Amino acid sequence: MKHSVILLPLVVLIWVFLNGSVYCQGPAVVNIGAIFTFNSVIGRAAKVAMETAVSDVNADPKILNGTKLNLISEDANCSAFLGSVGAFQVLEEGVVAIIGPQSSAIAHMISEIANGLRVPLVSYAATDPTLSASQFPFFIRSTQSDSYQMAAVAELVDFYEWKEVIAIFVDDDYGRSGIAYLDDELEKKQLKIAYKLPLPIQLDPGNITDMLNKSKLLGPRVYVVHVGPDPSLRIFSIAQQLEMITTNYVWLATDWLSTTLDSFSQMNKTSLRILQGVVGLRQHIPESSQKRAFVSRWRKFLLEGLARSELNTYGFQAYDTVWTAAYSIDKFLKKQRNITFSSSDKLQKFISTKMQMRTLKVFDHGSLLHDILLKTNFTGLSGQVQFNQDRNIVSGGYDVINIDKMAIHTVGYWSNSSGFSILPQENPQMDQKNYSRPNQKLKNVTWPGGKTERPRGWVIADNGRPLRIGVPFRASFVEFATKVNNSDDMQGYCIDVFKEALKLVPYDVPYKLEPFGDGHSNPSYDGIVKMVQNGSFDAAVGDIAIVTNRTRIVDFSQPYATTGLVIVAPIHNSKSSAWVFLKPFTVEMWCVTAASFVMIAVVIWILEHRVNNDFRGPPRKQLVTMFLFSFSTLFKTNQESTESSLGKMVMVVWLFLLMVITASYTASLTSILTVQQLSSPISGIDSLIASNWPIGYQVGSFAYSYLADNLYIARSRLIELGSPEEYENALRKGPKGGGVGAIIDELTYVDLFLSKQTEFGIIGQPFTKSGWGFAFKRDSQLAVDISTAILKLSESGELQKIHEKWFCKMGCPGERRQNSEPNQLHMISFWGLYLLCGVFTIGALLVFLLQMVRQFVRYKREKKRSAPPSPISSRPHCSQVIYNFFDFIDEKEEAIKKIFTQSDNPPGPVS
């Protein structure tokens, strides 16, 4: 009894110790699942990579503290159904996490299962952006999302300045979602996917051939291919057979192509010849010692037969994903110590009645492991393994590759933080764009056909027929567009501009000009534009005004002629004015000229008064002489002449100024007297509207709708006119004789009409601003290229030469506009000349005054010396000095010099 009392506590103590030790050590084995397609481009590399990673984890004593990691793999066989079955099978084994699948379509299905059983699902290859954290909270992506890849593709299209692309994609969740994101990214840059060509999942060759043949009839030549890895490269093989990997074609591929090519053995690299000029993306994996060591191990696997394909980026990411799970499980076990599963009431109720999989249980601490997984941060083979707020791995960017001469060349890199660059950005900022377009750079790319010049990426649709170009067949103003001698050929100013512009388009444009109208009356221009909209015409060429309602349905080229609505009305000569001689100068100019005469008169009198007898005498005589001398210089009839040097210098400058002013006045007065001054009772559009007179307009012109709808002129006042002859007759008759008070038409037509008329003129300025352009279908690339060509014609002067060819045979038509102000001469044109004259005049006056002051001082000194001494000394007042100075100036120069001479030579003593 005594021994039993001692033995019982000892047994309890041993039992507690043993159980505590087991509890501290954790489970002996932790299961993780892997669901993927074993025999696939990605699966063959991923299988070996994951098994190698599990082996490396179990061999590392620093992780899991003795707990072994067990990988349970199931083959999905590219089937969502089989993948779901495989998911249930691995979950029955009590896995704490599932790695995979590689297919986005299968990932959608398994993510629902993972959510229900609270098991984290970490995929290294499901790139579908719609696998979002909000819909699938237990889904984590350890590879880059296609949202980043499509941003890179859109940047690539924009970098090379293409506007439209054709998207070829596999018709499943992966393909549709990727292209939808590409569409959004292109739209941000005002680019677009012109056509979408979905392909069945099996990539049937017959279907591919049909799709590519149809695409040859389309204009865009930039193809974006987004399908699954395909070792047969069926799309490119068929494209080569159809001669579509040639000059003018552009082929861009997402990372499926680089994954496929990286998986090829060296012997299979010969298939690269069909990819000449293709540009693709590859998920960027930075160089590191870890990566190089693993690549070396892989080569041994290939030699030993342990691996059946080369290593690709998804192989690196599959390896890192296993380590991500291992690190997270290690942290989980340190917190939770053990792994438990429990049954769900809802699940058990469903299983008991519908299914026989009673072993399915919910992972009790799945949320905790999920949170730990999201905090992963380590450097793996593929670079930094870290997840962002969307539960996607932080994007490491993409390599831009180019296949040339059966070799893969890296021509640059793209990251979401720096854009395109020659060197990789190894430390990208998370989801931050801080780059600008001018800083983007890539190495030279060799395109299909072996050319290094950037392909245009667009051609005229190869549908076996030329473009149908509609041309207005006018009955009047045929200089713009008309038939040639009743043939099918067309000629005119507009036709010549179009043909010259086509010469500058860098590709061949087959076309056929088709007249629109009967030639007996001007056609409806809105009608021809609508025919372009509905496809009856591919484009319209002619004197087509670019107005708002037309721009809503078609695209216009750059305007090749500037125009606007103007008013044409009868004019008559204005009566001559009795004061027409005053019109050459402005009031300011007259005042300054008159002041100059007065100034010259005063200055010359001052300079000549002491030395010239003509400027002396009674004050009245001096005043008359002074002004007569000044004004007589205008007619060169002055009898007086200057004698002083300063006076002569001033007169030279003044006569030069007077010569220029006189010549300018004569020329301006001649112009005013000979140029016809036009006038009309109509002063502008407002007075015309208020007059209630009938208003003429050209048949087919947009002027009718503009006047009625925008200016609210009664339609009953608008008179339809069809030719220049009708213009002339209606204006001659006038509003009282059954004609019109004025005609409103576009300036270009009016110029041509007035070139043959002298009784009519343009009243006021154009009250609308518009231009003529060529109409094209919506989003037509040809519209952009023709616009560029028109700008080149304008810059080179060729556009003006075409205009002169048609409208300047008898002299270019001038605009006759009512001008209320004659061409007067303004002070601004002569201020420099007046300033020069003023400087010389004032300078001469200052020199004269300095001379006078010097003489006056000497005169006072001599006078003081010769005067007898006075006992009373007094200083003269300032006013007296000034008065004496003016008296001194009034004296003749000869008298003063005589006084100075006597002072210098006094008389000798009498002997």
pLDDT in tens, 749-765: 888 888 777 778 888 77
**pLDDT, position 700:** 79
pLDDT band per the 50, 70, 90 thresholds, residue 350? low
Domain co-membership, 79 together with 213: no
Q: Looking at the predicted structure, is the pLDDT value of residue 558 above 50?
A: yes
The structure tokens listed for 251 are: 């082929």
Domain co-membership, 81 together with 130: yes
Give 6-61 pLDDT, tens digit per residue: 555 454 444 444 444 444 557 889 999 999 999 999 999 999 999 999 999 999 99
Q: Which residue has the higher pLDDT, 111 or 813?
A: 111
**pLDDT, position 572:** 65
Domain co-membership, 764 together with 781: no
The single residue listed with the structure tokens 């050209």 is: 698
Specify if 834 maps to a domain: no
Domain co-membership, 584 together with 723: no
Domain co-membership, 754 together with 715: yes
Looking at 674, 699, 714, the residue that finishes a domain is 674
pLDDT band per the 50, 70, 90 thresholds, residue 351? low
Q: Looking at the predicted structure, is the pLDDT value of residue 884 above 80?
A: no
**pLDDT, position 532:** 94
Closest CA to 204 of 167, 178, 232: 232
Looking at 656, 674, 692, the residue that finishes a domain is 674
Q: Looking at the predicted structure, is the pLDDT value of residue 492 above 50?
A: yes
Dmax (CA) of the chain: 186
Specify if 189 maps to a domain: yes
The segment with the largest mean pLDDT, out of 238-252, 422-436, 612-626, 808-822, is: 238-252
Specify if 238 maps to a domain: yes
**pLDDT, position 497:** 94
**pLDDT, position 381:** 92
Specify if 843 maps to a domain: no
Q: Look up the CATH number of the domain holding residue 700.
A: 3.40.190.10
Please, are residues 120 and 98 in contact by the beta-carbon 8 Å criterion?
yes
**pLDDT, position 474:** 82
Print the domain residue range for 493. Answer: 467-564+772-808
Give 568-609 pLDDT, tens digit per residue: 888 765 555 667 777 777 888 888 888 888 887 788 777 776
**pLDDT, position 602:** 81
Give yes or no for a cis peptide into 27 (omega within 30° of 0).
no
Q: What is the bridge-based pairing of β-strands 695-698 and 718-721? A: parallel
**pLDDT, position 533:** 93
pLDDT band per the 50, 70, 90 thresholds, residue 356? very low
Give 250-285 pLDDT, tens digit per residue: 999 999 999 999 998 765 667 788 999 999 999 999
Q: Looking at the predicted structure, is the pLDDT value of residue 900 above 80?
A: no
Domain co-membership, 155 together with 268: yes
The structure tokens listed for 152 are: 């890179």
Q: How many domains does the chain have?
A: 5
Specify if 870 maps to a domain: no
Q: Looking at the predicted structure, is the pLDDT value of residue 498 above 90?
A: yes
Specify if 737 maps to a domain: yes
Q: What is the bridge-based pairing of β-strands 398-404 and 407-415? A: antiparallel
Closest CA to 601 of 636, 621, 627, 620: 627
Give 20-33 pLDDT, tens digit per residue: 444 455 788 999 99
Distance CA 419, CA 434 (A): 8
Domain co-membership, 273 together with 404: yes
pLDDT band per the 50, 70, 90 thresholds, residue 429? low
Domain co-membership, 640 together with 702: no
Closest CA to 111 of 129, 96, 93, 98: 98
User: What's the Rg (C-alpha) of the chain?
Assistant: 49
Q: 505 — alpha (psi -120 to 50), left (phi > 0) or beta?
A: beta
Give 458-471 pLDDT, tens digit per residue: 887 655 578 899 99
Average pLDDT over the chain, rounded to an integer: 82
Give 365-376 pLDDT, tens digit per residue: 778 888 888 888
Cα dihedral value 428, 430, 431, 434, nearest 10: -50
Q: Looking at the predicted structure, is the pLDDT value of residue 229 above 50?
A: yes
Looking at 352, 386, 420, the residue that finishes a domain is 386
Domain co-membership, 140 together with 150: no
Q: Looking at the predicted structure, is the pLDDT value of residue 326 above 60?
A: yes
pLDDT band per the 50, 70, 90 thresholds, residue 388? confident
Poorest-pLDDT segment among 151-165, 795-809, 814-828, 885-899 = 814-828
**Helix H or strand E segment including 449:** none
Sheet-wide strand order for 121-123: 68-75, 29-36, 98-99, 121-123, 139-141
Please, are residues 788 and 637 in contact by the beta-carbon 8 Å criterion?
no
> By percentage, how much of the chain surpasses pLDDT 70?
80
Domain co-membership, 262 together with 404: yes
Q: DSSP labels for 118-147?
A: T--EEESS---TT--TTT-TTEEESS--HH
Q: Looking at the predicted structure, is the pLDDT value of residue 5 above 50?
A: no
Give 650-687 pLDDT, tens digit per residue: 878 878 887 888 888 787 777 666 544 445 677 788 88
Domain co-membership, 151 together with 265: yes
- Residue 158 DSSP symbol: H
DSSP 3-state of 821: coil
Number of C-alpha atoms within 13 angstroms, CB side, residue 354? 6
Specify if 874 maps to a domain: no
Specify if 867 maps to a domain: no
Give the chain's end-to-end CA distance (angstroms, integer).
186
Domain co-membership, 596 together with 659: yes
Backbone angles phi, psi at 799, to 5 degrees: -65, -40
Distance CA 288, CA 735 (A): 91
User: What is the mean predicted confidence (pLDDT) over 725-737?
Assistant: 88
Backbone angles phi, psi at 35, to 5 degrees: -120, 120
Q: Look up the CATH number of the domain holding residue 94.
A: 3.40.50.2300
